[in-house]
Amino acid sequence: MTDNPIKSPAVKCPQKYQWDLEDVSKSDAGRTEDGTMEKGRIGQVVKLSLSWGPLTTDEISEILQAFNPEYINVTYLDPQVGGYTTAQFYVGNRSTPLYNSALGLWSNLSFNLIRRKAEMIT
């Protein structure tokens, strides 16, 4: 990636950036007795899947600290909007395997950002 899809918080450009749009359905959504789906979409939520390649301890620490708050405002590239937008997200589970402790290298870091509030459909 040449340009960082995450503008805020300011962190190293992720190696992988995947944008997902998930539907939020009514609580009574499901299939009827004749097999027809009654989805009842009431909103949509953006999820961003991020991952970084090999990182030094300093680099991984900076990223983890930037995304540590319970909720965080993120300015990100949104293909549906056609540019950058800002929204409040929470962070999913963070995972990183150690590559070499003597050199202070981590093989990768990955986690999801999930938009806190769904865009409601009227």
| pTM reported for the whole predicted model | 0.86
Per residue in 18-76, pLDDT (tens digit) is 999 999 988 888 888 999 988 888 999 999 999 999 999 999 999 999 999 999 999 99
pLDDT tier for residue 1 given thresholds of 50, 70 and 90: very low
Q: Residue 113: pLDDT above 60?
A: yes
Higher pLDDT residue, 1 or 122? 122
For residue 2, what pLDDT is reported?
52
Q: How far apart are CA 31 and CA 70, in angstroms?
A: 36
With beta carbons less than 8 A apart as the criterion, state whether 6 and 16 touch: no
